[in-house]
Chains A and B, each alone.
Chain A
Amino acid sequence: MKKQTLENIAGWIFIAPVVILMVVFIIGPAIFSFGLSFKDYNLLKPDQSTWVLFENYKELISDPNFYQALFNTLKYSIVVVPVQTFIALCLATVANQKIRGKTFFRVAYYIPAVTSAVASASMFMFLFNTNGIANKFLGLFGFKAVSWFTDPTYALPLAMIMAIWSTVGTQMLVFLAGLQDIPSDVYEAAAIDGATGMQQFKSITIPMLSEKTMFVVVVGMIGTLQMFDQAFIISGGTGGPLGSTTTVVLYLYNKAFGENRLGYGSAVAVCLFIIIFTLTLLQKYYFEERPKRLERKVV
């Protein structure tokens, strides 16, 4: 047999299982989902399903509950992403200095990230119960005790605190890797020119880390827009109190599997897909085009 034929056979033997799984569980379902979003499909009465074209989408954009879910998710994302990025950057900068116990800090910060969202949600619900230790601690600074997860004003902030707590460690590691890539002679040169630590941080560290920052922010946004586990546990699956913890994915879940409306649920999934896909494209553009743009500037 010719060598190329052998290569083709070998290649396909190596890749075939993955291609089959990819088609059956990802590509097929993704395409199917688009089709389903134009149907009225009840899980319990599949034979009565009908094509409704844009009805699901029309209902979606006129459902105040969907807007609430979307608004909650955006609010969650807008608070969580900058805060966790900022904390992670500060911790990484500090952990990169000459201090003792680096390994301990790295381990301590990352432990929340390996913890299941179910476990961390139940721990936080206990810590933040009305008579709990978190309220007691905040009371030292003059804050009134609130019932975090039963009060619509505080349930989402509790989910935000939880998300920040779980993600900071991961992002810190990404920043730390970025910091270690900055050559030390850049700082030495700046120090010779008389730049203070703060100036060095502003004019060297932040610009040199911009790519990592962009990565962390986009990944953070994508992750927060898909938030489900914490909201599910805090609200016992309902998205309550008063819809204050309903996220887009929880809304999708409850419509599709609570009310058995799979077509409508698919329309929600398509909307989420469009939002996230756009974000990812922006990220790709940034990562792939930026070096080219910079090159052009230099030339």
Chain B
Amino acid sequence: MEKSVSKPMKFLFYFLTIGYAGIALFPFFWAFYTSLRPTKEAFKLNFDFSGLSFDTYINLIEKNDILKWYFNSIVIAVCVTIIGVVLSTMAGYALARINFKGKNIIFMTILGIMMIPGQITMIPQYMLLNEFNFVNTYVGLIIPFVFNAFNIFMMRQFFLSFPISLEEAAEIDGLNRFGIFFKIALPLAKPAVTTITIMTFMGSWNNFLMPNLLITSRDMYTLPVGMASLNSQYFSFPNQTMAGAMLLSIPMVILFLICQRYFIEGVTSSGIK
């Protein structure tokens, strides 16, 4: 719906939209600006662009294992995403298209799981991983986070929504279920797969609670866990903590700027169900 409005209304609209854009972006601007300032000026509120440098970043990276934390975060997020997306897509496909015994009960269970809060599984998950010595390991930080009921549900809805005729034609041509899935269904599902890929990656990258619990050794830290520890360590050096906040958030912001469309799709499709 787009309609023309009066001048004062238009002014109000721009005032609101620009004003809120300022609120949304100002913290980043101020944090970034502070992270470039020398320590003794970091608390000052003036604008002084003369002494800006990336020294704080270099110092922070030299004194802490930040590159290792990046590496950990990337390894974990990439593995969780790849394994999670492949399994969710296959499961979603099976629930949408294959008539196998037990399908209904599995689907109902997945729907049920979407309704329970993660905290109920937190303590036993921790005990389980502790028991089998998966604390401080990549496996312990990847495998428990691969299952995602919402992704499975979304892929099922996606496969249900597109026409079955192509798959039937492929079946007549002699392709079996696996051939149909990998050669026909999967390539057609690219937009939905991209959306869940991005949402899963973001979830893993920003995940804090469980990793904070499951990592006790400094060189297994993921970025959020590491930055949380720096936050208390460098509390009186805002240029350092702000540089940390930038190092943690900028990769996600860049990814968002590149793949906006899929982020937005991810959000809006979650509102449809």
Contact = CB atoms under 8 A, between A and B. Distances in A.
A117 B206 contact: yes
Interface of B is mostly: helix
Given A11-B99, A15-B90, A30-B120, A22 B113 contact: yes
A51 B242 CA distance: 48
A53 interface: no
Contact of B232 (A10, A236, A269): A236
A90 interface: yes
A198 B39 CA distance: 51
B1 A122 contact: no
Contacts of A79: none
Interface residues of A, number: 108
Interface stretch (A59-67, A68-76, A276-284, A289-297): A276-284
B32 to A, nearest CB: 10
B16 A29 contact: no
Contacts of A52: none
B9 to A, nearest CB: 7
Contacts of B95: 15
Given A21-B143, A116-B224, A229-B208, A123 B28 contact: yes
A228 B210 CA distance: 11
User: What bracket does the count of chain B residues touching chain A fall in?
Assistant: 35 or more
Interface stretch (B17-25, B48-56, B58-66, B161-169): B17-25
A10 B177 CA distance: 7
8 cross-chain pairs, A with B, having the tightest CB-CB distances, nearest first: A11-B100, A29-B124, A14-B94, A10-B177, A174-B271, A29-B121, A177-B268, A21-B147
29 contacts: A7-B99, A10-B176, A11-B94, A21-B143, A22-B110, A24-B128, A29-B123, A36-B123, A97-B3, A105-B20, A114-B255, A114-B256, A115-B252, A119-B248, A120-B249, A122-B241, A122-B244, A125-B231, A126-B238, A132-B45, A170-B267, A173-B271, A229-B208, A229-B209, A256-B122, A262-B123, A269-B119, A269-B120, A276-B117
Interface of A: 4, 6-12, 14-15, 17-19, 21-22, 24-30, 32-33, 36, 43, 87, 90-91, 94-99, 101, 104-112, 114-127, 129, 131-133, 136, 165, 168-170, 173-174, 176-180, 182, 184, 187, 191, 197, 212, 215-216, 222, 225-226, 228-229, 232-233, 236, 249, 252-253, 256-257, 262, 265-266, 269-270, 272-273, 276-277, 280-281, 284
